[in-house]
């Protein structure tokens, strides 16, 4: 079966009260329309067409897919008018055209595939759903034998028709050649003065074309987004779906209601994730990894047995942050792009690591900064110490050999090399290489002033000397 896919993404989304086109609002960190495109990407479509309108340039820049084409609807004169804009791009008259909504992000590939199969190039297939409250949905009108007669838009429905619980989702599959014919006969004789795609149902019935309805597996996958409340509702539904999938696979989520995955999370056995954590991009968690509460982890590979303590931020980029086996990170630590921690490395509270490699057993436990550094095995990096890696124009590297001890409140001015086994005395500012095994101390001489008195204030608050 040859297949075209049309995704309608032209609406403004007035009720979102935002300059951003509705279909670009993010759900789980990804635009609504991109969720739809990703769901149907595995289908063997000849061509996928996105109909844009409001904010067309933004939409066309932000969504992506294989063999993706765009058709603009300007002005927006209804759903039928929208699909009319795609007609010049449809391929293969003998095939099927699948029409989906760009603001229904939870639609499943299986549902879209079943809808296209129900059409089979000869029937008009509608995707419907049974709703406790179908307000706003077009109602499915059936004859006495259950055959589909048409769809009545909510605004045009009578009181009796509004009692019907089977609603039309806005998604259908039609024979491409017949779709061209039906769309050419649409008119806007309705309450809104718009060209309704749903009017083609009555045309199909009049021609004797079989009209069938397939029901979505759940209400959630066909829910659209019209305002921030609905977007938030779908976000929680989607996050709960992801949480349930992870828990069925053995991940221990201490509270699945307080979990957010905005990308892809792979994991080993016996992984535990505390509350309030956010995962973005691609994250890998090895066996026995523990993630403390309120961590944000993006593009990272965390090896077996590592513990990420609460309130830690890990933010990788195209090259993920790497955390070695048995490492301890946090609380309140920050690992930036290029951070690579070896086995059993310790990164403590208020320590920041950027573009640096720490070998096995190295420790920076308190209030420190390591930027553009290579750190050897078993190094102890003292509280308050930093690598001064930027000269105002260029970044420079710091190399610290194995078994080095860097005292508290030191500044290592790059480019610099501290040899294996060396010691840097606390409070030192080091601007020259330190030979292996030696002690380096670079600080002002301590002075004691006898008879010095601390300034005091007089009763009026003025300083008295």
Q: 172-231, pLDDT tens digit by residue?
A: 999 999 999 999 999 998 878 889 898 999 999 999 999 999 999 888 999 999 999 999
pLDDT confidence of residue 286: 98
Q: Note whether 274 and 422 are same-domain residues.
A: yes
In a domain, 212, yes or no: yes
Find the mean pLDDT for residues 1-24: 93
- 362/345 Cα distance (integer angstroms): 5
Find the mean pLDDT for residues 342-369: 98
pLDDT confidence of residue 461: 62
| Angle 415-417-421 from CA coordinates, rounded to 5° | 160
Q: What is the mean pLDDT of the chain?
A: 94
pLDDT confidence of residue 54: 93
Q: Note whether 182 and 287 are same-domain residues.
A: no
pLDDT confidence of residue 154: 86
Q: Which of 69, 154, 294, 366 is catalytic?
A: 366
Query: Domain residues for 292?
Result: 251-440
**pLDDT of 86 above 80:** yes
pLDDT confidence of residue 48: 96
Residue 366 annotated to the active site: yes
Look at residues 176, 167, 155, 152 and name the one whose alpha carbon lies nearest to residue 213. Answer: 167
In a domain, 237, yes or no: no
**pLDDT of 240 above 70:** yes
In a domain, 242, yes or no: no
**pLDDT of 464 above 70:** no
Q: Note whether 94 and 161 are same-domain residues.
A: yes
Q: pLDDT tens, 274-287?
A: 999 999 999 999 99
pLDDT confidence of residue 288: 98
Q: What is the CATH number of the domain that holds 298?
A: 2.160.10.10
In a domain, 451, yes or no: no
Query: How big is the chain by its Cα radius of gyration, in Å?
Result: 31
Domain boundary among 222, 243, 269: 222
At 319, the pLDDT band (50, 70, 90 cuts) reads confident
pLDDT confidence of residue 401: 98
pLDDT confidence of residue 462: 64
Find the mean pLDDT for residues 365-369: 97
What percent of the chain is predicted at pLDDT more than 70?
A: 99
In a domain, 246, yes or no: no
At 354, the pLDDT band (50, 70, 90 cuts) reads very high
Cis previous bond, 446, omega within 30: no
pLDDT confidence of residue 450: 93
Q: Note whether 268 and 189 are same-domain residues.
A: no
Is 154:167 a contact under the CB 8 Å cutoff? no
* Residue 442 falls in which region: left (phi positive, over 0), alpha (psi -120 to 50) or beta: beta
pLDDT confidence of residue 156: 85
In a domain, 383, yes or no: yes
pLDDT confidence of residue 399: 98
H or E element: which one contains 4?
strand 3-9
Report residue 376 CA to chain centroid gap.
35
Q: Note whether 276 and 338 are same-domain residues.
A: yes
At 318, the pLDDT band (50, 70, 90 cuts) reads confident
- 346/290 Cα distance (integer angstroms): 15
Q: Which SS3 state, helix, strand or coil, does residue 211 take?
A: strand
Q: pLDDT tens, 382-402?
A: 999 999 999 999 999 999 999
Find the mean pLDDT for residues 362-383: 98
Q: Which SS3 state, helix, strand or coil, does residue 357 take?
A: strand
Structural domains of the chain, count: 2
Q: Which of 73-82, 239-248, 332-341 has the lowest mean pLDDT?
A: 73-82
Q: Which SS3 state, helix, strand or coil, does residue 391 take?
A: coil
Bridge partner list, 380: 363, 405
Q: Note whether 218 and 263 are same-domain residues.
A: no
Report residue 381 CA to chain centroid gap.
35
In a domain, 463, yes or no: no
- 364/186 Cα distance (integer angstroms): 70
What does the block give as tokens for 220? 């959630």
What percent of the chain is predicted at pLDDT more than 90?
A: 85
**pLDDT of 465 above 80:** no
CA distances from 394 to 1, 355, 356, 388, 430 (A): 58, 14, 16, 11, 19
């Amino acid at each position: 079966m040859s297949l075209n896919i049309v995704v309608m993404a032209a609406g403004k989304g007035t009720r979102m009260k935002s300059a951003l086109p509705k279909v670009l609002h993010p759900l789980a960190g990804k635009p609504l329309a991109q969720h739809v495109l990703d769901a149907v990407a595995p289908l063997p479509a000849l061509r996928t067409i996105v109909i844009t309108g409001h904010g067309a340039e933004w939409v066309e820049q932000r969504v992506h897919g294989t063999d993706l084409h765009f058709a603009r609807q300007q002005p927006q004169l209804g759903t039928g008018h929208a699909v009319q804009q795609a007609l010049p791009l449809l391929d293969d008259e003998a095939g099927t055209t699948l029409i989906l909504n760009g603001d229904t992000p939870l639609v499943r590939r299986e549902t879209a595939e079943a809808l296209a199969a129900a059409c089979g190039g000869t029937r008009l297939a509608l995707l419907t759903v049974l709703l406790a409250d179908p307000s706003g949905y077009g109602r499915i009108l059936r004859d006495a034998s259950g055959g589909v007669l048409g769809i009545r838009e909510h605004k045009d429905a009578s009181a009796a028709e509004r009692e019907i619980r089977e609603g039309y989702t806005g998604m259908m599959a039609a024979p491409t050649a017949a779709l061209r014919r039906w769309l050419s006969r649409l008119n806007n004789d309705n309450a809104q003065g718009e060209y309704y795609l749903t009017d083609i149902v009555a045309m199909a019935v009049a021609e004797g074309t079989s009209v069938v309805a397939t029901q979505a597996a759940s209400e959630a996958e066909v829910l659209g987004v019209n305002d921030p409340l609905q977007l938030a509702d779908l976000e929680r539904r989607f996050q709960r779906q992801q949480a349930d999938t992870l828990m069925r696979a053995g991940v221990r989520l201490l509270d699945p209601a307080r979990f957010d995955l905005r990308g892809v999370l792979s994991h080993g056995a016996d992984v535990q994730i505390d509350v309030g954590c956010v995962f973005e991009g691609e994250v890998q968690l090895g066996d026995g990894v523990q993630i403390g509460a309120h961590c944000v982890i993006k593009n990272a590979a965390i090896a077996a047995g590592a513990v990420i303590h609460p309130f830690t931020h890990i933010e990788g980029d195209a090259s993920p942050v790497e955390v070695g086996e048995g490492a301890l990170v946090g609380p309140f630590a920050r690992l930036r792009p290029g951070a690579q921690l070896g086995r059993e490395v310790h990164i403590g509270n208020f320590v920041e690591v950027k573009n640096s490699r720490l070998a096995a057993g190295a420790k920076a436990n308190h209030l420190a900064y390591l930027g553009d550094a290579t750190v050897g095995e078993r190094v102890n990096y003292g509280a308050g110490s930093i690598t001064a890696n930027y000269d105002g124009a260029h970044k420079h590297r710091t190399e610290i050999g194995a078994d080095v001890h860097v005292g508290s409140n030191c500044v290592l001015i790059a480019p610099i090399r501290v040899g294996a086994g060396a010691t840097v005395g606390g409070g030192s500012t080091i601007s020259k290489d330190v030979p292996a095994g030696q002690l380096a101390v670079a600080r002002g001489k301590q002075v004691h002033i006898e008879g010095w008195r601390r300034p005091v204030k007089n009763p009026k608050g003025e300083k008295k000397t």
